[in-house]
Every structure is written in C-alpha cells, then in structure tokens.
Structure 1
Amino acid sequence: MLKLISYPLSFIVLILILLTLVVFHPIQWICLNVFGYQAHKKSVDYLNFILLRIVHLLGTTFSFENRESIPKGVPIIFVANHQSLYDIIAMIWFLRRFHPKFVSKKELGKGVPSVSFNLRHGGSVLIDRKDPKQAIPSIKKMADYIEKHKRSAVIFPEGTRSRDGKPKEFAQTGLKILCKNAPSAYIVPISINNSWKLVKYGSFPYGLGNRITFVVHEGFAVKDFEFKEIMEKTETAIVKGIKI
C-alpha cells in the first residue's frame, strides 16, 4: 500500500528535484565564473538545502549526531558507509562549514545538471573504477588540496552503495592515499543509517517516512597511528554505528 501511495508523491518530488538542478546549473556557473569559489560554494550549499527540503515531502527526516565533535581548523577526511545518493546531499549541507569534496565515479561528471558541474569544478575528483591506477593521482591531488586549504574530503570505502544497509567490504587504497598525502588531517568516521530505504524500490518510486541518521564518531589524527590501525579503527567505528 505504501508503495502505491508513494507513486504520485515521488513523481512530484522527482519533478521538483529536476527543476531545482536545472535552475541551479546556470546559477553555479555565474557564481563560479563571475564571483569565485566562495560564491560557488554558497550556491552549492543552498542547492542541497533545497533538495533536502524537497525530500521532506516524502516524510523523510535527516539528522546529524555529534557534529560538534568534529575537529576544526585542520584538514578532515570523512569516511562513511554509502547507501544512496542522498547521503551526499545531506553531507554537503550539514558539513558545509568543512567544505566537503567527494571522490566520485566519473560517470557522474557529465549529463546531470548542477551535480556534474559541481563535481568537475568544485574541488571533487572523478575516478574510473575500472582503472585503479588512474585514481591514484586524482586522489593525491585532493589530499594536497585539503592539506593546503584545511578543508575536507569525503570517501566511501565500500566503493558502491549498499542496497540493504549492510556494509560491504572496505577498500583501503583511496583512504591510504589521502592519509599519506594529507599528514596533518584528522579521520572522522560517520555511520549512515536508513538512507537505503529511500531508494529501496529502485530509482522510482521513493520509500516514504524514513528517518535518515548520520552518526559522527570521534575523530583522530592521521599522524598518531599506522595505516593498519587507522583502517581498523575507522571500519570498526562505522560498522558499529550501523543499525540493520
């Protein structure tokens, strides 16, 4: 029954999302090319704020727990499990003060209004998951960027979204490159819950009435641990915070 009810609501939400992406595409272009980075960032922040508000029409709520514990004034590497594209929308808005940049698949770098533009021009990196060697210099460039500007990188070490909320095996390479090339960074693990339920039927219709939570775990300095310990601490914290 809920799935049946979700069809008309999902149609309205999808149209509003597409309209918002189309409208903000030229706004982003103007902000970046006329006013510079800060204006472009603001346009991206408010784009994602509006997208969150649109998703509220589905009875979806978002909450970020323990945000105040995130270290300030240092580069941050946010490491999280991945359940849907709506993880990214929420993280851009709720973590906006940390200027989050994403490691994304190259397919998203074209064809999606606003999203593709921001990924190409906003400081994120696009990688070819079929060519791991190509990803190394791109991720290194991101690490250099956050180290220099004291901003943040977001990486989903599962590599792809979980369809049922259960975490997949964590890959090490991307995080290892970030840690090596941003030695003053702090790792901040984040556990994401229930985002997968928003797309449990596939891309359409949406799931209704979900409470999506982001649990921020205690951060720690990269320089204080060997990488093996970093990986273990990070994965343990994330998996422990996932509720199936």
Structure 2
Amino acid sequence: MSASYFEIFFAAFILVLPFLYESSQTFRFYVKFFAYYIIVSFNAVFFIPVFAFRPKNVRNLVVASHICKFISPLLGLKWIIRGRDNLEKERACIIVANHQSSLDVLGMFDIWPIMDKCTVVAKKELFYAWPFGLAAWLCGLIFINRVNSGKAREAMNTAGEIVKEGKIKLWVYPEGTRHNTGTIHSFKKGAFHLAITAQLPILPVVYSQYYFLDEKKRVFNQGKIIITTLEAIPTEGLTLDDLEDLMDRTHSAMSKVFDEANKEVHQICS
C-alpha cells in the first residue's frame, strides 16, 4: 500500500513539474543551472578515461565541445559568432574576454572547434571541483593560485612559454570575477603583463550582455548572445612602460563593441 502512495505522489510530482517550470521563474532558474552542472559533470566523467590517453592535450577541449554544444539549445541559448577569421588563425596569442557568468563556458564550447588549440587560465579552486576539475586538467587548463601572487605570476610565465612553443591561444578573463551588470569592469594586469613580456598579441573577445539572466532575482530565460572577436592588438616592441596604455586601449575597444552588440541583441529579441 505504501508503494502505491509513493507511486501516486511521484506521478503527481512529475505532472506538476511542467507547470512549475512555466509559471515560476525561480524554479526555472534552479532547474536550468542544475541541468547545466549535472550534464557537464556527467560528460566530464565520460571523458576522463578518454582524455587520459593524451593528458594535458589542449585539443581534448575540441572533442569535449562537440558533445557539450547541445547544452545551449537545451537551456534556450543561442550564440551568434562574429569575427571567426580572427579566431581561425593558427598563432600564439592572449585572448581576453569579458566575464559575466559560468554560462560563458557554453559560448566557448561553440567556438573551440574554430580556435582549435586554446587553453584557459582558471582559478586553482576549480581543479578541486571533481569530476569537472580533473577533466579540465586533462584538457590542459592552467590553474593559478590567485591568493599567492608569486605562484600566480610563475604559472602565467610558464603558460606563456607553453603557448608560444605550441602556437596555442591562452584564454584569460582579465576582470577576474564575474559581472553581469551591463558594463565591462576594470582589468587586472596579469594577461597584459604576460602579453608584453612574451611579445604575444592580445585578441579581444566580447560577449554581449546576458539580459536574460539575473542571479539576484533568480531569472534565467531564453536568450541570444553575440560573441565578437576583434582584430588582434600587437605587442611587438612594447615594454612594461606601455602596460597601462595597452590595457586602456583594449578595454576601450571591447567596451565599444559590447555596447553596440547589446543594442543589436535587444533589437533582435524585441
């Protein structure tokens, strides 16, 4: 008899889920993020033994992206890619991108096959978020200790040598933390310091604002995002005396594209 009551309760719960999903933005918010993290974790478990055959190979990320691309349409997200030619070139460079949410990774899944060889600078704590952290390590992600500036600088210098030798793109979020506030916040110096010392070009990538997402109000609706890759900014001949100017020029160029893309994406979705 108890089993029957359980079955009735479970059936009623399943039936009410679609209603809750459509009627409650908070419920929809948590369901979408739960699905996102569960699917990524499941894929990580699946890929770990595959990646173990060629550990720390950045092309593992291309393999993962082909499988993980389906997450975006499942969540109601569509990525519009601009400036593909700038991403396709085989060259070592420092990609700097604005950082708005953990959803940024889903956009990267769409462009990793275009970039081919690219790795990411990530905070060390992410490595311990297994199984994702282990899979990311096997894909060649570079983890830095943001608390210890000396070790962080050493890791970045090592990363510079790796990308130069292998003609790999190094993806960095120079804002440091996530901001979905309708503006690109000030940059930290690490990526630009590395670009100058290693004489590697800066390749700016701009995500339009996540107007469909509000984590404070627990809103996660359908949405479109424009990802624009700008022309590379050369650093040949620059010294650390030019650091601030390089940061300002990059921030200014990205902010201009960010504002333009925001206007366009709102027109597309209105």
Tell me the TM-score range normalised by the shorter chain.
Answer: 0.7 to 0.9
Pick aligned residue for 2:124 from 81, 87, 106 = 106
Query: Counterpart in 2 of 1:149?
Result: 166
Pick aligned residue for 1:238 from 254, 259, 262 = 254
**Alpha-carbon distance in structure 1 between the residues aligned to 2:100 and 2:39:** 23
Name whichever of 22-31 and 150-159 sits farther off.
22-31
**Alpha-carbon distance in structure 1 between the residues aligned to 2:83 and 2:152:** 32
Structure 2 residue runs of 5 or longer lacking an equivalent are 1-20, 263-270
Deviation string 1:106-153 (CA, Å, 9 cap, x unpaired) is 221112432x12332222222232222221011111111111111111
**Alpha-carbon distance in structure 1 between the residues aligned to 2:124 and 2:58:** 24
Counterpart of 1:149, as a letter, is G
Counterpart of 1:220, as a letter, is I
Distance 1:142 1:93, change over 3 A: farther
**1:74-153 maps to which residues of 2 (within 5 A)?**
74-98=91-115, 99-114=117-132, 116-153=133-170
Preserved CA contact (<8 Å) 2:79 2:224: yes
Q: Report the Cα offset of residue 176 of structure 1.
A: 0.8
Preserved CA contact (<8 Å) 2:51 2:60: yes
Counterpart of 2:221, as a letter, is L
**1:139-218 maps to which residues of 2 (within 5 A)?**
139-181=156-198, 183=199, 185-195=200-210, 197-202=211-216, 205-218=218-231
Deviation string 1:85-117 (CA, Å, 9 cap, x unpaired) is 111221243133322211112221112432x12
Larger radius of gyration: 2
**Alpha-carbon distance in structure 2 between the residues aligned to 1:218 and 1:39:** 24
Counterpart of 1:200, as a letter, is D
Establish whether residue 41 from structure 1 lines up as the match of residue 61 from structure 2. Answer: yes
Greater RCO, 1 or 2 (C-alpha within 8 Å, sep 6+): 1
Distance 1:166 1:125, change over 3 A: same
Preserved CA contact (<8 Å) 2:41 2:131: yes
- What is the percent sequence identity of the aligned residues? 16
Q: TM-score, normalised by structure 2?
A: 0.75
Counterpart of 1:78, as a letter, is I
**Alpha-carbon distance in structure 1 between the residues aligned to 2:215 and 2:164:** 40
**Alpha-carbon distance in structure 1 between the residues aligned to 2:54 and 2:171:** 26
Q: C-alpha root-mean-square deviation of aligned residues, in Å?
A: 2.7
**Alpha-carbon distance in structure 1 between the residues aligned to 2:176 and 2:24:** 33
Preserved CA contact (<8 Å) 2:40 2:68: no
Pick aligned residue for 2:74 from 51, 54, 69 = 54
Deviation string 1:137-171 (CA, Å, 9 cap, x unpaired) is 11111111111111111111111111312222111
Q: TM-score, normalised by structure 1?
A: 0.82
**Alpha-carbon distance in structure 2 between the residues aligned to 1:10 and 1:121:** 31
Preserved CA contact (<8 Å) 2:206 2:229: yes
